[in-house]
A and B are shown apart, each in its own frame.
Chain A
């Protein structure tokens, strides 16, 4: 048995790959659920019911998908150009922290929409800088950005801990380590009454559309694709590599920071060191499941959100630990990477 390169990447297979990957992941995890003593069909049924079974469940799942769309876009944009941004988690927290800090005290004189836009923009810039610095190190000195961005996540989290225990600590929180809240006038409007779903969802979808248009239709998009696929050929054709890659880092870091910003302006209102259940890392899975396509990111983010929201409900109903959600997500990433292999290679006996 051996692998033979296909004459061309098969587009139908590329579209089928995530579905196959998810099916394989659910099948493998069914074994784990059965090992926990529960009928997998019952468990998956409870999961679906918990995530999509009611109006409230659906809004809850979509709310959960919002930060995942942003971090998924962040990873997809960066990976397209072979900028390995593993720092989505840190950028998320920086975005959240800056938003809380600004939203508590400043901008109160401005009309709310303008203040919100400004806060989001500044948060995004801070997140962008957090990725541009490691990329600059790579471009200048050849420092591996995977290591630097990954380790920065822990540093940022400790910094957030320092801030919410210190300068930004909420004096009204009975000693809980949480930041000062953003002003209620700056919170994002609800999209659906009596739910947590807010207009951040629309912002996320618009961001995905914008990324799609930029990648498919603009000179910058074509240059980033060339830069990612064949750096030497891109440079020969006159693509200004450092500039293009820095712009990619700006976009990617900014999108990840927007996830944190929108999470604070939307459902939570303040920052804690446990507010992200790994949105930054899950964004990488979302991007891969989407085969780095912005439209796929929205769908993949909703899928991952479904698993996580559904797993909580399933855990309450059946007693299977909700960690199964992490397992499903991780296995579907591995299955997707395997599936991607078959879009470029075929097995020959």
Chain B
């Protein structure tokens, strides 16, 4: 390792009264993988956007190879060899890989395109960095893992020597994430320097050389990865020690929700192909699997947004395979959607409106078609205090809440009326440790109170920690259930690969 390739000196940035970054300084050395660890809202993404020139810092400077980067100019950052891979991909699905990569770096008014040369360069890059992808493929047809490779190639194509990855594994399944980190290691051997942003401890421990921990916009610690431990980092990141709650064994009751040969056909993505399961009183049934194997279809049919095309789905013996969201809510179903921004809340409505939207036509919150604002507002205030939704009053615009607090609002409105069945679809995706612990505690409390819970999760640790029994979903089919106590990582891996025979049924 030689001198620093990237230097941050005293970066501060405010948004209104919010201090997103406060006097942040650190360096990145040639050929190293630096992890920037912090909870959501710690200021990681803001900082990266300042380096890349999307935002301008209020004070402080960024130096690349000793030269000061002019603030607020992404082009200058690109020219200096800084490449950024965003958390949400910025690719056009209707264009090919090649077109997506050269777009923006190709002069607009040049009649002769240098596609052939570009394609040769892309092939060379993808060979030497171990990023296999077909330049002629349409991006819309690629998997998320492949799309991420395209994003990385796009940065490399512009001759980046410093690569910034914002939450690169947020959309990846575990094996894809492992492959990504192996690739990154190889890239540093080729002389690249990498910063990756994360709030997942195991990734940071597995893939980085050095860790910078951000909390509330400040650098609170810097450690060589070898010399630290996951618990230490967790405590530094959160500022106190956080322990996820654990599941206590208890007896489960009668099946509440039962599916028999349930099928859902849909135009895009995996549907469901004759799945059967039972969720019992006081039990959490975990559905694990690699993303895109029918979890979305299962979530939709159980939340009433789409209908089953065949098979039976019953709630306490009554058929709900074609029930609407309203009728499910009335029957005592709590639903936590997969995507809290797109499905969970209406960001531009107030907290109180989102709190009661599910049951706004019930006599508790409306009379003669007129909303009972006082009652709705009181309900929202109750949720805020009971579920510790921070930064919210009933009148707050919901968009202003952090992801974790938004999720507590959704959780709160689902749990408030003691549901007998709860669908929890990726309930902690993208949340920080503190919020994850809170969500887990609430789900376990609902379980103790006798609710039947179906947990769909791509996070194996979460599924194993919470579930009484686990089934794997592969290409729209479900494995036989295994008791969580008997499921080890190897068996779950086989189940998720679609090899049921090797797993024990209970």
* A interface residues with partner B (beta carbon < 8 Å): 2, 4, 7-9, 217-220, 222-223, 225-226, 229-230, 232-240, 348-349
Nearest Cβ in chain A — how far from B56, in angstroms? 6
Which listed residue, B16, B324, B344, B353, touches A238 by the CB 8 Å rule? B324
**Residue from A9, A222, A226, A236 with most neighbouring chain B CB atoms (10 Å):** A236
Q: Which of B135-143, B146-154, B357-365 forms part of the interface with chain A?
A: B357-365
Partner of A230, one of B15, B72, B342, B361: B342
Q: Report the separation of the CA atoms of residues A9 and B396 in the bound assembly, to the nearest whole angstrom.
A: 12
With A7-B400, A222-B353 as given contacts, are A238 and B370 in contact (CB-CB < 8 Å)? no
Size range of the interface on B?
A: 35 or more
**21 contacting pairs across A/B (C-beta < 8 A):** A2-B72, A4-B55, A7-B15, A8-B400, A217-B371, A217-B373, A218-B369, A219-B369, A219-B371, A226-B346, A226-B353, A229-B347, A230-B348, A232-B342, A234-B357, A236-B303, A236-B343, A240-B324, A240-B326, A348-B56, A349-B72
Identity of the chain A residue whose Cβ is nearest the Cβ of B327 in the assembled complex = A238
Whether B4 sits at the interface, judged by CB under 8 Å, is no
Chain A CB within 8 A of B220 CB:
no
Docked Cα-Cα span, A178 to B324, in Å, equals 52
Q: Does B305 contact A (CB under 8 A)?
A: yes
> B24 to nearest A CB, angstroms?
19
* A348 cross-chain contacts in B, Cβ below 8 A: 55-56, 72
Indicate the member of B56, B326, B345, B360 with the most A CB atoms within 10 Å: B360
Alpha-carbon separation in the docked complex, A7 to B54 (Å): 17
Residue of B326, B342, B361 touching A233 (CB-CB under 8 A): B342
- Tell me which of B54, B56, B329, B357 contacts A226 (CB under 8 A): B357
Choose among A218, A230, A236, A237 the residue that contacts B371 (Cβ–Cβ < 8 A): A218
Distance in angstroms from B407 CB to nearest chain A CB is 14
Docked Cα-Cα span, A7 to B15, in Å, equals 8
Q: Is B325 an interface residue (CB 8 A)?
A: yes
Given A217-B370, A219-B370, are A237 and B72 also a contact pair (CB < 8 Å)?
Answer: no
A220 & B16 in contact (Cβ 8 Å cutoff): no
Residues A220 and B400 in contact in the complex (CB < 8 Å), given A232-B343, A233-B346, A238-B324: no
Complex CA distance for A349 and B72, rounded to whole angstroms: 8
Q: Is the CB of A7 within 8 A of B358?
A: no
A220 neighbours in B (Cβ, 8 Å)? 369
- The residue in chain B whose Cβ has the minimal distance to the Cβ of A221 is B371
Determine if B366 is an interface residue (Cβ-Cβ < 8 Å).
yes
Contact status A238-B371, CB under 8 Å: no
Q: How far is the CA of A217 from the CA of B348 in the complex (A)?
A: 17
A1 — nearest CB in chain B belongs to which residue? Answer: B72
B185 CB-CB contact with A under 8 Å: no
Point out residues on B near A: beta carbons under 8 Å. 15-16, 18, 54-56, 72, 303-305, 324-326, 329, 335, 337, 342-349, 353, 357-358, 360-361, 366, 369-371, 373, 397, 399-400
A220 nearest in chain B by CB position = B369
Q: Find out whether the CB atom of A223 lies under 8 angstroms from the CB atom of B345.
A: no
Q: How far is the CB of A251 from chain B (nearest CB, A)?
A: 14
From B325, B353, B360, contact of A236 by CB (8 A): B325
Q: How far is it, in angstroms, between the C-alpha of A232 and the C-alpha of B341 when the chains are bound?
A: 10
Residues in B with CB closer than 8 Å to A230 are 342, 345-348
Residue among A7, A223, A229, A237 with most chain B CB within 10 A: A237
Q: Nearest chain A CB to B70's CB is how many angstroms away? A: 13
Closest to B17 in A: A7
Task: List chain B residues, Cβ under 8 A from A238.
Answer: 304, 324-326, 329, 357-358
B370 CB contacts on chain A under 8 angstroms: 217-219
Q: Check A236/B56 contact, CB under 8 A, given A217-B370, A219-B369.
A: no
A235 engages B305 (CB within 8 Å): yes
Distance in angstroms between the alpha carbons of A237 and B337 in the assembled complex: 10
Which 9 pairs of residues, A with B, have the shortest CB-CB distance? A238-B325, A238-B326, A237-B357, A236-B343, A230-B346, A229-B348, A226-B346, A233-B346, A237-B358
Q: How far is the CA of A234 from the CA of B357 in the complex (A)?
A: 8
Chain A contacts for B55, CB-based, 8 A:
4, 348
B347 contacts across to A, CB distance below 8 A? 229-230
A349 to B71, CA, bound (A): 10
Chain A residues whose CB sits within 8 angstroms of the CB of B343 once the complex forms: 232-233, 236
Known contacts A8-B400, A240-B324, A349-B56, A219 near B361 by CB under 8 Å: yes
Q: Which B residues lie within 8 Å of A349 (CB)?
A: 56, 72
Contact residues in B for A237 (Cβ distance below 8 Å): 325, 346, 357-358
Given contacts A8-B399, A218-B370, A349-B72, 17 further A-B contacts (CB under 8 A): A4-B55, A7-B16, A8-B397, A219-B361, A219-B370, A219-B371, A220-B369, A222-B353, A222-B371, A233-B343, A233-B345, A234-B346, A234-B357, A236-B303, A237-B346, A238-B304, A238-B325
Given contacts A7-B16, A218-B371, contact A236 B305 (CB under 8 A): yes
> A226, A232, A233 — which one has the most chain B CB atoms within 10 A of its CB?
A233
Query: How far does the alpha carbon of A238 sit from the alpha carbon of B343 in the complex, in Å?
Result: 11
- Which of B342, B349, B357 has the largest count of A CB atoms less than 10 A from its CB? B357
Across-interface contacts of B18 in A (CB, < 8 A) = 7
A229–B360 touching, CB < 8 Å: no
Supposing A7-B400, A229-B349 touch, asked if A222 and B335 sit within 8 A by C-beta, the answer is no
Contact A233 B371, CB 8 Å, known A222-B360, A225-B349, A348-B56: no
Complex-state Cα separation, A173 to B259, whole angstroms: 73
Q: In the complex, A272→B328 CA distance in Å?
A: 54
Residues of B near A234 (CB, < 8 A) are 346, 357
Shortest CB–CB separation between residue A248 and chain B, in angstroms?
A: 15
Nearest A residue to B413 via CB reads A237
The interface residues of chain A lying within 8 Å CB-to-CB of B348 are 9, 229-230
**Complex: chain A residue closest to B346, CB-CB:** A230
Q: Give A239 to B305 CA distance when docked, in angstroms.
A: 11
- Enumerate chain A residues within 8 angstroms of B335, measured Cβ to Cβ: 236
Return the chain A residue nearest B356 by Cβ.
A222
Q: What B residues does A232 contact at CB under 8 A? A: 342-343
Say whether A223 contacts B324, CB under 8 Å: no
**A229 vs B398: C-alpha distance when bound (angstroms):** 12
Name the distance in Å between B503's Cβ and chain A's nearest Cβ: 33
Say whether A233 contacts B324, CB under 8 Å.
no
